[in-house]
Homo-oligomer: A and B are copies of this chain.
């Protein structure tokens, strides 16, 4: 429980709404800045402005998933104009106050020399929790953008990291025939234990001849023309890797193979769950700092 803690949420999207609900349920005092357009009241949340909050009593500041841009704006989906945070604001915070963001931005990096900033999306646990809605989003696209079932389809997943592992569970569970590409011997052993087909990344091209759905998670250009040329023409490519992605989209288009770049799936298919994840990890960080 977060009894006695004062938390300020500055900007954000649907995820932050659910996050605030969860933080209130954990008994903290929550101020929301930049949420004027939220339809209904959120019980226990005080809509306010930065000036009106006693800065030295704040235990945690929560910035949007996208952090602060160069001018200090915190993007908000629920305000006509996104709130702006002056650098001086951070000077007024107490020494133990924690500042959470989704990702670091240049401005935050510079600020982090003075104050403690926790980029949530860099944490393994957040990445693992988020891999679940990510995999469900990928599955949704696979169902939607093909004219065959995932059941009994040949699915190749590239990368067996935090997202890749969850994808294997998800697609295998639906009855797909899953192959997984990795560059690492130990991971190949684990892929075998998952009862998927391990493929060394060097053998990617020759392994996709009968592939129906290719899902990439490697944030490097791994799906190159040679791979795309090996794919059947009616296959689907889904790229989950962060920009610029790992797929040669230009070549896929030329070849006539449908390729989808699918960023930001957790916020898209499950903002509520994504908000719960953030609240859970924020609580765990605050409590750990204390002890």
Point out residues on A near B: beta carbons under 8 Å: 14, 18, 123-126, 128-129, 131-133, 136-137, 139-140, 143-144, 146-152, 165-166, 169-170, 173-175, 185-186, 188-190, 192-195, 269-273, 284
Contacts and interface: CB of A to CB of B under 8 A. Distances in A.
Contacts of A137: 143
Contacts of A14: 147
B193 A169 contact: yes
A193 B284 CA distance: 18
B189 A128 contact: yes
9 contacts: A124-B185, A125-B188, A129-B189, A136-B149, A140-B140, A165-B190, A173-B173, A175-B193, A185-B284
Nearest to A147: B272
Majority secondary structure, A binding face: helix
Contacts of A124: 185-186, 189
B136 A273 contact: no
A273 B193 contact: no
A129 B269 contact: no
Given A137-B143, A143-B140, A174-B173, A148 B270 contact: yes
Interchain residue pairs A-B with the least CB separation, the first 6: A173-B173, A128-B189, A124-B186, A147-B272, A175-B195, A125-B189
A163 to B, nearest CB: 11
Contacts of A174: 136, 170, 173-174
A144 B145 CA distance: 14
A193 B143 contact: no
A23 B167 CA distance: 35
